[in-house]
Amino acid sequence: MASTETASATVIEDIPRRPTILATLGAFSRENPLGACGGFIVIVMIVMAFFAPWLTSYDPTANDFGAMLAPPDGDHFLGTDQFGRDLLSRIIYGARTALLVGFVSSFVGCFLGLILGVTSAYFGGRFDLLFQRVMDVFMAFPLIILALAVVAIFGTGVQNVIIAITIPVIPRAARIVRASALAIREMPYVDAARANGFSHSRIIFRHMMPNVMAPFLIILTAQVGQAILIEASLSYLGLGVQEPIPAWGLMLRGGAQEYAESAPWVAIFPGLAITLAVFGFNLFGDALRDWLDPKMKT
């Protein structure tokens, strides 16, 4: 009896323990220092957006005509714009707009692409052929050009900008997910599910989609940075977010050309915010790809 208990205890001790979250983050940081830097930038953006009312002393939409184009000083750490609005406050609140547009458009577009890509790979045949030709038509247009066309149809505003960025993301996510789903379709457990008479929807949603989450997360992270850049581009062109909503592209549009020499801080700091945001998401997305891809690990 004692030997049986000893053997059971030995078996339990031999079971490898799952690493903690802190241990996983530490390993990720050691193997991907640049990705950790990108993740740190992303976390700082999220904190800025969430705690914006507590991090700023000025209303981002309040005009102060007595402090127009004030240079950076003790009162306004990043200076003011042509309407006397505090740039630091507008950049912090602009992170909310960037993350809202970036996350919502990327998640919705990638999720729809996930469903369409897995469905196309599962059914194959003529359905897959026709679906891929439709995706080719959408992908023939650069992302920014297709977004401009959608904005021209639906109009400006935050909601329409999200729609304009979501539509071009769908075919790109579907194409990447489909490539992984084609291999999963041939797995024995999918054949076993078919033999047991499971419905197509159950096989797609319960057996195939969970196994393509790695490429889904990678394309999602990468598309957030692209969505932030496209939103800034549309706002700079006057086709995106409109005043008085704080947005980095709008801040560039208001000061990049007219005040480039007399008040360069009006354009420099919003430009740096856009650069750091896109740079951080791209670094984190590349590191996440290397971390989740077994071929990259070997």
Q: Is 219 among the domain residues?
A: yes
Q: Is 171 among the domain residues?
A: yes
Reported pTM: 0.84
For residue 7, pLDDT beyond 70: no
Among the residue ranges 21-25, 33-37, 68-72, 185-189, the one predicted with the least confidence is 21-25
Alpha carbon distance 18, 251 (integer Å): 47
| Angle separating helix axes 125-139 and 87-123, nearest 10 degrees | 150
Q: Is 248 among the domain residues?
A: yes
Q: Is 154 among the domain residues?
A: yes
Alpha carbon distance 281, 229 (integer Å): 11
Which CATH number belongs to the domain containing residue 148 in this structure? 1.10.3720.10
Nearest-CA neighbor of 41 among 272, 232, 228, 276?
Answer: 276
Q: Is 129 among the domain residues?
A: yes
The total domain count for the chain is: 1
Average pLDDT over every residue of 212-230: 87
Q: What is the pLDDT of residues 111-144, one digit of tens each?
A: 999 999 999 998 888 888 898 888 888 888 888 8
Q: Which domain holds residue 247?
A: 31-56+72-297
Q: Is 23 among the domain residues?
A: no
Q: Is 11 among the domain residues?
A: no
The total number of residues shown for the chain amounts to 298
Q: What is the pLDDT of residues 82-95, one digit of tens each?
A: 888 889 999 999 99
205 DSSP assignment: I
For residue 59, give every residue at least 6 positions away whose Cβ sits within 8 Å of its Cβ, in sequence order, or none.
89
CB 158 within 8 A of CB 241: yes
Q: Is 65 among the domain residues?
A: no
Q: What is the pLDDT of residues 47-80, one digit of tens each?
A: 998 998 898 888 888 888 888 888 888 888 888 8
Taking only Cα atoms into account, the Rg of the chain, rounded to an integer number of angstroms, comes to 24
